[in-house]
Amino acid sequence: MKQSLLFIFALALLTLSSCAQQKKPSGQTPDQTPNVIIIYADDLGYGDLSCYGATRIQTPHIDQLAKEGLRFTDAHSSASTCTPSRFSILTGEYAFRDQSARILPGNASLLISLDQATIGTVFQKAGYQTACVGKWHVGLGPKGGPDWNGEITPGPNEVGFDYSFIFPATADRVPTVYVENHRVVALDKNDPIEVSYQHKVGNDPTGKENPGLLKMKSSHGHDGTIVNGIGRIGWMKGGHLARWTDESLANDFLAQAQMFIEKNAHHPFFLYYAVNEVHVPRMPDTRFKGKSKLGYRGDVILEMDDVVGRLLKTLDYLDLTKNTLIIFTSDNGPVLDDGYMDGAVEKDHGHKPAGPFRGGKYSLFEGGTRMPFIVTWPGVVKPGVSDALISQVDLLASFAALTHQKLTNRDAPDSRDMLSSLLGRTKQGRSSYVEQNNGGVLALIKGNWKYIEPHKGPALLKAVNIESGLSIQPQLYDLSKDTGEKNNLAGAHPDIVKQMAAELKQIKEKGHTRY
């Protein structure tokens, strides 16, 4: 009798604990494993949001996130261009370790190895449903590139995402199509897609031959196939029904993000939501054209703020806000003229897209990698501002910690568990970290010091009018006194230069920094 009572008691306990494990995240108390959303903007600078000091533009929805969450002032992407930054945020590995992790053409093969941990696989192992919606730009398909007319694999679904709705590279690169899981959306077998970055394919007009057909002229490059009145990089043939309309990009991605959230309202989810804004070609939804008075660049910032607001509303509506951790950040610094005449330069009206920092996209100066970075998790993350030094490369290990997982030495070689900093439990950040430009030239930040390794190259990137941060002399800046990186102290502190150069060399040779 006693024994059977004990048995029933044990059974009840077991049932209770398994119920607790299966409990739905919706409406939970906030200390349990949350849903996680990364909103990853494109080319959005530190100074582009009103919560980061912009006065010429107002971003009320993102400001609301900043008001309710933790706003970081010293958070970084790992690179000042897209592909390496995205590679790092996804894999927790510094992208300079892979020579091919540079701005990729639209037909490049998948950069991420199938046995590599990603932020997606971390959440999958924790039992989450995962999705990637938006810009991808880390390659698709096997060596030689993807088969646009068949199964496109491997891609996001093979590296940690249960669902994906993406465009392959950038909005200015062919093919200008959506890929849902393994297929081009609205593919027409009678109009097969062909893509080339070497030579013209097909008979569609190009920006070079038919500039009269353009609704937005290019300032440099972008003279390949014209899609939706805009010249692209590269040439494409076919897929006419599948080609997107730039004006709908923000809405289309938002709709997919919302559907994924809705579908998983009663199941833990992770959403990597990589919005297209504010990358070129900037062609906002008609509701936003002219709204900012800063040209289309300002208009797409407003549009991005609007879609963020609508995403937050969806979470509210589904009663998920309380148990959702959101990170809002960007992949690299800002640029005004990135190859199209869209009014960004003429109408900047004193707006400072990189805030107080020098340089921007493509640059090794802080403007290239110092990012807006906001974390919200109501009831857990206390509102405030944090000066902790963190890098996007840390998200993988931090998410592993959030979901109580151990990483092996094969995983995420440069990702550090910064969960306490991200949640505001400490103001302490990393002691050092590495950032790079698109060509893999490196800078090391350690304490107050920033060292940029010597490298040949133009000081000014003329086409985009951005200082590259390159010099054949070593550069050393004291960021605690000189955020603008104006005063090169390398000559005054040869010992520090030597030490930092040696450390950088060791970081390169060792192949990892987490262990």
| Region binding ligand NG6 by CB under 6 A among candidate stretches 219-227, 303-311, 321-329, 425-433 | 219-227
Q: Of residues 170, 258, 330, 468, which one binds ligand NG6 by CB under 6 A? A: 170
Specify whether the CB–CB gap between 121 and 410 falls below 8 A: no
Specify whether the CB–CB gap between 36 and 160 falls below 8 A: no
Q: Of residues 24, 220, 287, 349, which one binds ligand NG6 by CB under 6 A? A: 220
| Region binding ligand NG6 by CB under 6 A among candidate stretches 119-127, 220-228, 370-378, 387-395 | 220-228
72's enclosing H/E stretch is: strand 70-76
Give the separation between CA 434 and CA 93, rounded to whole angstroms: 11
Place of tokens 């008075």: 293
Q: Of residues 63, 93, 98, 172, which one binds ligand NG6 by CB under 6 A? A: 172
Q: Which does 33 bind (CB under 5 to 8 A by kind): ligand NG6, Ca ion, none?
A: none
- 103 binds ligand NG6 per the rule CB under 6 A: yes
237's enclosing H/E stretch is: strand 235-237
CA distance readout (Å), 513 to 79, 450, 503, 504: 17, 18, 11, 11
- 369 binds ligand NG6 per the rule CB under 6 A: no
Q: Of residues 279, 322, 446, 450, which one binds ligand NG6 by CB under 6 A? A: 279
Shortest Å, Cβ 178 to ligand NG6: 17
Which string of x and - marks every residue 67-96 that binds Ca ion (by CB under 5 A)?
---------------x--------------
Give the separation between CA 329 and CA 66, rounded to whole angstroms: 11
**Which of left, alpha, beta for 408 (phi over 0: left; psi -120 to 50: alpha)?**
beta
- 79 binds ligand NG6 per the rule CB under 6 A: no
- 457 binds ligand NG6 per the rule CB under 6 A: no
| Region binding ligand NG6 by CB under 6 A among candidate stretches 175-183, 218-226, 292-300, 403-411 | 218-226
> What one-letter code names the amino acid at 90?
L
Q: Which of the residues 386 through 445 are near Ca ion (CB under 5 A)?
A: none
DSSP one-letter code for 133: E
Shortest Å, Cβ 131 to ligand NG6: 21
Q: Of residues 230, 233, 274, 452, which one binds ligand NG6 by CB under 6 A? A: 233
CA distance readout (Å), 426 to 114, 115, 322: 35, 33, 22
- 332 binds Ca ion per the rule CB under 5 A: yes
Shortest Å, Cβ 223 to ligand NG6: 9
| Region binding ligand NG6 by CB under 6 A among candidate stretches 113-121, 216-224, 236-244, 257-265 | 216-224
Q: Of residues 36, 38, 41, 43, which one binds Ca ion by CB under 5 A? A: 43
Q: Which does 221 bind (CB under 5 to 8 A by kind): Ca ion, ligand NG6, none?
A: ligand NG6
Q: Which does 102 bind (CB under 5 to 8 A by kind): Ca ion, ligand NG6, none?
A: none
Give the separation between CA 13 and CA 446, rounded to whole angstroms: 51
- 338 binds ligand NG6 per the rule CB under 6 A: yes
- 166 binds Ca ion per the rule CB under 5 A: no
- 414 binds ligand NG6 per the rule CB under 6 A: no
83's enclosing H/E stretch is: helix 82-91
> What one-letter code names the amino acid at 498?
K
DSSP 395-453: HHHHHHHHTT-PPPTTS-TT----HHHHTTS-S---SEEEEE-TT--EEEEETTEEEE-
> What one-letter code names the amino acid at 343?
G
Q: Which of the residues 123 through 152 are near ligand NG6 (CB under 6 A)?
A: 137
CA distance readout (Å), 274 to 132, 164, 202, 218, 435: 8, 11, 31, 25, 21
Contact residues toward ligand NG6 (CB under 6 A) are 42-43, 81-82, 103, 137, 170, 172, 220-222, 233, 279-280, 332, 338-339
